[in-house]
Structure 1
């Protein structure tokens, strides 16, 4: 098992790193998040000009190609400075490119994938419902009724990030109420975000402030048949293969954040003096930095292992869940230690430690809570289901 990057992967990593240093430094990230209910259009446009929206999209549709490892390399490098602003890329990459690439029709692929690759189409995920959280299936009330030529959607979603600037919404709805199991009778729709009957409202939040999250109301929204993704009623089976990819990319984002935390912590420990010496000479500070470095190594190994499994076509559901859990907890703890190392300046909006903490605290909760991840790991070992 060799996790060393190939020559092509190293060249790609170095290219992205140069781009990040020149076009997306940490100081710019702090400026972008001041518009906490807005959207980083300038970042989106820079990524489009560099061709980054095409990562993971087949070259036949105008993309750059690349497997999950290439996506991880990109996500890690960008998150090192931008943190949660990575999702200006990640949302459309997952909700649009990945979903359509896996279960879109040939016509849908031809229509949407080139537009996504060129940066002409933004997509938001519209799955979670008020009061639902991790219990997506148990609380799903949004429905779609069959009508002539399509479907009519009614319901409400919450935490649909960047819905207010999206061109399309990837919406999970119930199309059949008479089912034996909750995951039966669900369908996926690719809904134009400006359709009649859609109302979008931004939500104030703790972190990821540069990209607003929203509630989305669907009031008798008509969606034509050609915007149904895959087979109606089988959405849950289609979504399962994409969930591992999402969790692996969350791990990559968290790893990038730890990179950013560690470089800031080491630099500050060298430059800041107290009691006549650099604080990096104090044993307590050294232990904090050693813990951050160890967390980074642990997260990196698990991320590349999961990416390796997925690239081989192997089932990595449990491992991807483990990565999501470990990476999110490591990132938040590393940022918390970083704040402690910087002291008062760590709490200041003039530095990035508090931003890393705020942006990644949500990832202990979403896209699945770490408590639910632990349940799934225990169940995989033969223990009874706890919920």
Structure 2
């Protein structure tokens, strides 16, 4: 078994790490995060200049290429300093690049993928309903009915990150109510965010502040047929394979947070003095950083393995669920210990531990709650469905 990155992957990782240290240091990330009303267009533009929006998009469509392992390396390195702001890259990569690249038509790929790769198109995701949370299908009230040469979309989505600055929103809607099972009869639309009938309201929240999350209301919005992704009524079957990619991406961000937390904790313990000695000499604090390093190593191995399965075309739904649960819970625990190590400075907005904690806390809830992920793991082990 070989867990080593290839020479090209190591070179890519090294180049991204140097770029991150120069272009997106933690001090700048703190400044970006202070105002949740100001979307960090400057960060998006830096990603554009570096070519990161093209990672994962085939070269024939103007991208840089690269499999899920390459995307995982990029996501991890970005999150080391940016924390949750790495989603500025990740959302469009998933909602636009990944989704259109997997189930878009050739015409849609030619139309949208080059724009995404060039950083000229921002996308958002509109799956979650106000009364639903993880119960996406059970709470699905957004619907679309046939119109002339298209569909009429009505309903409401919540926690649609960056929708207020998006060019398109990837929307899941019910298009057929006469179905035997609720996962049938749902369709994916790539909806222009400035279409008549769309209203977007930002939501205040705990972490990932400047990225912005929104409620999106659709009031008889016309969506032409050429913006339907895949076959109408079959969206859930198309989505399932890409959900593994999303969970792997979340875990990569969590691994980056673990990197950043450990880095900051060690730096502080080597400088801070108390009771006549460096606090790095205190056994209790040494145990804390040993735990953080152990958690990171565990998550790193799971991440490499699951990304390898996905890139090899092998089944990895259970592995990606296990990975997402483990990575998010360790990232939150590590950031909490990091606050404890720094004491009052860990609670201060002048350092990054509190930012890591606030950002990582979301990943225990989304894109699927860890409780629901555990339900799926248990069911896959032969236990009865519990919900």
TM-score above 0.5: yes
Deviations 1:272-298 (A, max 9, x none): 000110001000000000000000000
2:210 and 2:86 map into 1 onto residues whose CA distance is 10
CA deviation vs aligned residue, 1:318-351 (integer Å, no higher than 9, x gap) = 0000000000000000000000000000000000
1:307 shift after superposition: 0.6
Q: Equivalent residues in 2 for 1:169-180 (5 A)?
A: 169-180=169-180
State the shift of 1:312 in Å: 1.1
Query: 1 CA distance for matches of 2:347 and 2:15?
Result: 32
What SS class does the counterpart of residue 219 from structure 2 fall into? strand
**Greater Cα offset, 368-377 or 346-355:** 368-377
Following superposition, the deviation at residue 38 of structure 1 comes to 2.3
Shift of 1:131: 1.3
Alpha-carbon distance in 2 for matches of 1:233, 1:194: 25
Alignment of 1:127 with 2:141, yes or no, is no
SS of the residue corresponding to residue 210 of structure 2 reads: coil
The equivalent residue for 1:274 is: 274
TM-score, normalisation: structure 2: 1.00
Aligned equivalents of 1:164, 1:375: Cα separation in 2: 34
> What is the TM-score normalised by the length of structure 1?
1.00
Following superposition, the deviation at residue 37 of structure 1 comes to 2.3
Once residues 171 and 376 of structure 2 are traced to their aligned partners in structure 1, the CA distance between those partners, rounded to angstroms, is 25
Q: Name the residue aligned to 2:52.
A: 52
- Determine the structure 2 residue equivalent to 1:86: 86
Look up the match of 2:118: 118
Q: Distance in 2 between matches of 1:189 and 1:35?
A: 31
Question: Do structure 1's residue 190 and structure 2's residue 203 form an aligned pair?
Answer: no
Which residue does 2:235 correspond to in 1? 235
2:246 matched to which residue of 1? Answer: 246
- Partner residue in 2 for 1:136: 136
**2:68 is aligned with 1:68:** yes
Paired with 2:10 and 2:104, the residues of 1 have a C-alpha distance of: 32
Inter-partner Cα distance in structure 2 for 1:97 and 1:382 = 35
Map of 1:321 onto structure 2? 321
Q: Partner of 1:200: helix, strand, or coil? A: strand
1:343 and 1:123 mapped to 2: Cα distance? 39
Aligned pairs, how many? 387
State the 4+ residue runs in structure 1 displaced beyond 4 angstroms. none
Q: Distance in 1 between matches of 2:8 and 2:381?
A: 38
Q: Which residue of 1 aligns with 2:19?
A: 19
Structure 2: runs of 5+ lacking an equivalent: none
